[in-house]
Amino acid sequence: MNFPIWDLQWAGGGLLIAMISVFHVYIAHFAVGGGLFLVLTELLAYRRQSPEILAYAKRHTRFFLLVTMVLGGITGVGIWFIISLVAPAATSSLIHTFVFGWAIEWVFFLGEIVSLLIYYYTFGRMGRRNHLAMGWIYFFFGWMSLFMINGIIGFMLTPGDWPATRSFWDGFFNPTFWPALAFRTFIAVMFAGLYGFVTATWEKDAPTREAMVRYSALWLLLPFALLLLSGWWYIQVLPAGPKAMILGANPEIVPFLEGFVQISAILFVGGLIMAIKMPATVKRPMAVALLVVGLMYMGCFEWMREAGRRPYLIHGHMYSNAILAGTEDAIAAQGFLATSGWNRYQEVTPENAVEAGREIFRGQCSSCHSIGGPLNDIKPLTAAFDQFGMESMIRGMGTVHAYMPRFAGTAREREALASFIVQKLNSRTPAADPPAPPALAGPEIPPFDAENGEYVLLAWCTLGEKCISDCDAHFSFLPPGSVLTAQLVRRDPRPEIVTQGVKISYIPPAGFENPSKHVDFWKYAPSLVGKELPENVSAKGLGLSGDMKLNEKNLTFVADGIPVLPYTDDGGVNPYPVFTIEARDAASGELLATTRVVAPVSTEIGCKHCHGGEWRRDDVTGISAATASDVLARHDRRHKTDLQAQAASGRPVLCQSCHPDPLLNAAGRPELLNLPTAIHGFHANYMTGMEGAQACRACHPESFTRCARGVHATQAGLTCVNCHGTMEDHALSLLKAEKEAGKAKAERLMRHVRPRLVATVDEIVPRQPWKDEPECLTCHVDFAPPQGDQAFNQWVRGPEGLYRTRTDDAGLMCEACHGPTHAEYPAVNPFHPDLDAIQPLQYQGAPGPIGSGGNCAVCHTEEMLDEFHHPNILGGN
């Protein structure tokens, strides 16, 4: 920051510039088109030999002189005053680049002043020919002023080759010079007609008034087609970035683009109506109204042009906050505060963090954002964010959506800016740590007769924990439907997996029988899944209790779609309900074996960090209505959908109805990114350098639910990163697969994401979500003790090869003995240490993998001397 800036907190830097500039430009275009209007109207009077028209021309010239010279001159000086205080760096750049261009323009402006004064004060005193010549001279100077200013203004939007050559001519005759000049010339002519309406309707002589109104209408109507053609030409020569911004990539521009189109129609129709003979009392207010509409027309165009440059003031060269493009990394290394002597603080300390954040806001945000004002008020725009969410937003600026510049500063400065916005401006206190999980009563461990027991019944939750999005009145992407799997083993010297002649059932714990009382899924099932569902029955037809279905392929019994929730009927929250599993003789109903298994289920999805609202239940879990509504609003704004309106009308959607998703076998719309890729690919741009799973999911050690409970997390100290990669790596592996499938959106989301576990994106191995997962044998080579702790990028191509679907050499599922994904034995559950160890404790009295530690006798009634299940099993692994 080489210059101090005027800190207009309420107005924001851009508001005064916009107000003064639009008013000035409206008058300035009148000064050009109106000059032609003057001389041609005078010429018309001579040709018609009409002293009335000549008198009108003189009166209009006085009006023209006062408006253009007084109001135009004052607002012109006002522009220089305000931009030098609010955007001094850009002003300096324009002056130094086009100093001679400005000098020439000022000469033309001086010519305008002198020639117009002569023209007005010699009206009727100078010979016709000389007076008309003076009018033509004024028009020439006015149009040449437009010529010069157009080149400089166009340079800011499309500098062309100037960034490389630094040539005056490359910058001046930039790619949009000629189409913009044509567009501005035609709009200047139209504005001459609008201003002509004002003076014509106040003409006292009725015939002259009517003639001049119709004459002015021609000035408004005749250039319309040429204006639209030049506007189309203008759009076509724009570079891809500004063109996309103007045509809707920046949601802020959309109302102005729509307004420009609508006002075009209003002006055209207004011109036609004005040409109709009507009383002056009707036409005068119409003339004034059309003049105001013209100002709005100019405002829409200028707003689109200005906003089309974003995130730049000078496209590709200087950002809107005056930081030069390409210096962001250097500033980040040194620190933004230390790069300028105009900051009160040169570094962030714990004592000055919030006030230092104010300084950073002034330098990097205030050029576009006000504080409590009408222009891009930062407070409502950021009200939803907590500290984590605000830091994420700052990280992601300039990535997915390119209309904001990248943040340039250190991690501490980013944190300070977030603190200022969240704590000072939005008065949000830092989030408290989640409460400790309540101490639940220990599950009843079923008895097992190690001497005489005939059967071993093993059961597990396939995914280790089922996540549910419990905001069904708004949307759903993880509907209720947990999966429990079981295998029944007949004990023997050579044990047998039993699949025939038996029935295996599941029974919920007391207090979990009525999930429909706690979520709206069943109310909105027709909209979400396309059919009415009985209460407490999942989309797959399962209730809270029932018989498990035989899967002959892998010798298991499966209950796929149990609609259990972490909410108890007495109003509590318990993400670890314990189901009873019973195996009975299919013919006699005799009970053969019983076990219990936890069915972990979580609604702890942290959308609230960025989308506002609080946890839905007990301040610990669930997606609240406020959070879900904001998610939909942002989706609608970015992707031109109407999901919020659909939800309000009682028609919420399942996200997979559009986005494909292997988890639900949803085909969706194949051209769209699959749902996991869309979610992770987008948010990875905002969570670079951060462990996104710790904010979004219930797996980190400080969460309430604590999904990661297995031995890898609790004893080996592994995190999501060891297997799935960081947020960036994980997202890139998904995005790369979608890119290879020809989906252009994937490449856009990948553009600013850099891997952290490998050197380049080329080293990322693409994968399909839910199907291609980390390979256990990457670390456990030949089933031996781990020889590393990084399984990322080494995928098992599933689903057949996945841990959750894999069997040993005897047909036992890996999860049957080693425990479910993310809760591998010995697992540690914070709600009670026995919750994830029921079967190990039941069958061997120890929480490790079933059969480990020499406990082969769980199933084998004789000592096991060979490695029957997989290599190295006798080593206790």
Task: Report the alpha-carbon distance of residue 554 to residue 529 in Å, rounded.
Answer: 29
Distances (CA, A) of 816 to 133, 478, 487, 584, 828: 99, 25, 7, 19, 17
Task: Report the alpha-carbon distance of residue 677 to residue 730 in Å, rounded.
Answer: 9
**Sign of the Cα pseudo-torsion (130, 131, 135, 138, in order):** positive
Q: If phi over 0 gives left and psi between -120 and 50 gives alpha, with beta otherwise, what is residue 654?
A: beta
Can you give the pLDDT at residue 775? Answer: 86
Secondary structure of 347-358 in HEC code, one letter for each residue: CCCCCCHHHHHH
Task: Report the alpha-carbon distance of residue 459 to residue 482 in Å, rounded.
Answer: 13
Q: How many CB atoms are closer than 10 A to CB 100?
A: 10
More confident site: 585 or 808: 585
Instruction: Categorize the per-residue pLDDT at 647 as very low, low, confident or very high, splitting at 50, 70 and 90.
Output: very high
Mean pLDDT (whole number) for 417-442:
87
Instruction: Categorize the per-residue pLDDT at 162 as very low, low, confident or very high, splitting at 50, 70 and 90.
Output: very high
Task: Report the alpha-carbon distance of residue 454 to residue 759 in Å, rounded.
Answer: 55
In single-letter form, the type of residue at position 100 comes to F
Task: Report the alpha-carbon distance of residue 768 to residue 740 in Å, rounded.
Answer: 11
Closest by CA position to 8, among listed 387, 286, 345, 373: 373
Residues forming beta bridges with residue 797, ordered by sequence position = 772
Task: Report the alpha-carbon distance of residue 825 to residue 820 in Å, rounded.
Answer: 8
| Tokens 């679907």, located at residue | 805
Can you give the pLDDT at residue 192? Answer: 97
Look at the pTM and tell me if it is higher than 0.95.
Answer: no
Task: Say which residues have a Cβ less than 8 Å from residue 87's Cβ, sequence separation at least 6.
Answer: 5, 13, 17, 313, 322, 367
Instruction: Categorize the per-residue pLDDT at 42 as very low, low, confident or very high, splitting at 50, 70 and 90.
Output: very high
SS3 654: strand
Task: Report the alpha-carbon distance of residue 801 to residue 768 in Å, rounded.
Answer: 13
Lowest mean pLDDT among 104-113, 366-375, 525-534: 366-375
| Tokens 């999966």, located at residue | 483
Task: Report the alpha-carbon distance of residue 181 to residue 160 in Å, rounded.
Answer: 16
Task: Report the alpha-carbon distance of residue 571 to residue 593 in Å, rounded.
Answer: 33
Chain centroid offset of residue 740 CA: 23
Phi then psi dihedrals of residue 492, to 5 deg = -175, 165
Paired tokens of 663: 């988890």
Can you give the pLDDT at residue 695? Answer: 66
Please check the confidence at residue 217 and state whether its pLDDT lies above 60. yes
Task: Report the alpha-carbon distance of residue 761 to residue 725 in Å, rounded.
Answer: 13
| Tokens 């004052």, located at residue | 74
Lowest mean pLDDT among 2-16, 139-153, 442-456: 2-16
Mean pLDDT (whole number) for 528-557:
96
Task: Report the alpha-carbon distance of residue 164 to residue 22 in Å, rounded.
Answer: 31
Summarize pLDDT for 757-814 with one digit per residue, the tens: 999 999 999 999 999 999 888 898 888 888 888 899 999 987 888 899 999 888 999 9
Identify the H or E element spanning 174.
none
Instruction: Categorize the per-residue pLDDT at 433 as very low, low, confident or very high, splitting at 50, 70 and 90.
Output: confident
Instruction: Categorize the per-residue pLDDT at 306 as very low, low, confident or very high, splitting at 50, 70 and 90.
Output: confident
Half-sphere exposure of 766 (CA within 13 A, CB side): 11
Task: Report the alpha-carbon distance of residue 20 to residue 266 in Å, rounded.
Answer: 24
Task: Say which residues have a Cβ less than 8 Å from residue 609's Cβ, sequence separation at least 6.
Answer: 385, 386, 388, 389, 392, 695, 696
Instruction: Categorize the per-residue pLDDT at 699 as very low, low, confident or very high, splitting at 50, 70 and 90.
Output: low
Distances (CA, A) of 737 to 276, 675, 676, 742, 792: 64, 13, 12, 9, 15
Can you give the pLDDT at residue 720? Answer: 87
Paired tokens of 733: 């592996």
SS3 581: strand
How long is the chain?
Answer: 877
Instruction: Categorize the per-residue pLDDT at 694 as very low, low, confident or very high, splitting at 50, 70 and 90.
Output: low
Termini Cα distance of the chain: 61
Phi then psi dihedrals of residue 466, to 5 deg = -95, 125
Residue 232, judged by CB atoms within 10 A of its CB (0-12, 13-18, 19+), counts as exposed
More confident site: 13 or 120: 120
Can you give the pLDDT at residue 767? Answer: 96
Closest by CA position to 474, among listed 418, 417, 524: 524
Task: Report the alpha-carbon distance of residue 500 to residue 552 in Å, rounded.
Answer: 10
Task: Report the alpha-carbon distance of residue 620 to residue 170 in Å, rounded.
Answer: 60
Can you give the pLDDT at residue 877? Answer: 46
Mean pLDDT (whole number) for 698-714:
82
Q: How many CB atoms are closer than 10 A to CB 716?
A: 14
DSSP 422: I
Instruction: Output Rg (C-alpha) for the chain, integer angstroms.
Output: 36
Decide the pairing of beta strands 601-602 and 466-467: parallel
| Tokens 């003031």, located at residue | 313
Half-sphere exposure of 476 (CA within 13 A, CB side): 27
Task: Report the alpha-carbon distance of residue 226 to residue 532 in Å, rounded.
Answer: 58
Summarize pLDDT for 100-133 with one digit per residue, the tens: 999 999 999 999 999 999 999 999 899 999 999 9
More confident site: 600 or 247: 600
| E strands in 232-348 | 312-314, 318-319
Paired tokens of 309: 């440059």
Quick check: bond before 826 cis, omega within 30? yes
Task: Report the alpha-carbon distance of residue 624 to residue 469 in Å, rounded.
Answer: 10
Distances (CA, A) of 111 to 135, 143, 149, 499, 502: 12, 11, 15, 100, 102
Task: Say which residues have a Cβ less than 8 Å from residue 465's Cβ, sequence separation at least 6.
Answer: 575, 600, 601, 602, 698, 705, 707, 822, 823
Paired tokens of 206: 């009725």
Mean pLDDT (whole number) for 586-593:
96
> For the chain, which domains are there?
12-318 (1.20.1630), 321-425 (1.10.760.10)
Instruction: Categorize the per-residue pLDDT at 254 as very low, low, confident or very high, splitting at 50, 70 and 90.
Output: confident
**Sign of the Cα pseudo-torsion (860, 861, 865, 866, in order):** negative
Computed over every residue of the chain, the mean pLDDT equals 92
Please check the confidence at residue 691 and state whether its pLDDT lies above 80. no
Mean pLDDT (whole number) for 412-435:
89
Summarize pLDDT for 667-682 with one digit per residue, the tens: 999 999 999 999 999 9
Task: Report the alpha-carbon distance of residue 578 to residue 566 in Å, rounded.
Answer: 11
SS3 157: helix
Summarize pLDDT for 724-751 with one digit per residue, the tens: 999 999 999 999 999 999 999 999 999 9
DSSP 674: P
DSSP 802: S
Task: Report the alpha-carbon distance of residue 535 to residue 547 in Å, rounded.
Answer: 18
**Sign of the Cα pseudo-torsion (856, 862, 867, 868, in order):** negative
Instruction: Categorize the per-residue pLDDT at 875 as very low, low, confident or very high, splitting at 50, 70 and 90.
Output: low
Greatest Cα pair distance in the chain: 128
Instruction: Categorize the per-residue pLDDT at 403 as very low, low, confident or very high, splitting at 50, 70 and 90.
Output: confident
Mean pLDDT (whole number) for 835-842:
96
Closest by CA position to 241, among listed 231, 233, 229, 249: 249
Task: Say which residues have a Cβ less than 8 Å from residue 298's Cβ, sequence separation at least 6.
Answer: 22, 25, 26, 29, 187, 191
Task: Report the alpha-carbon distance of residue 308 to residue 311 in Å, rounded.
Answer: 8
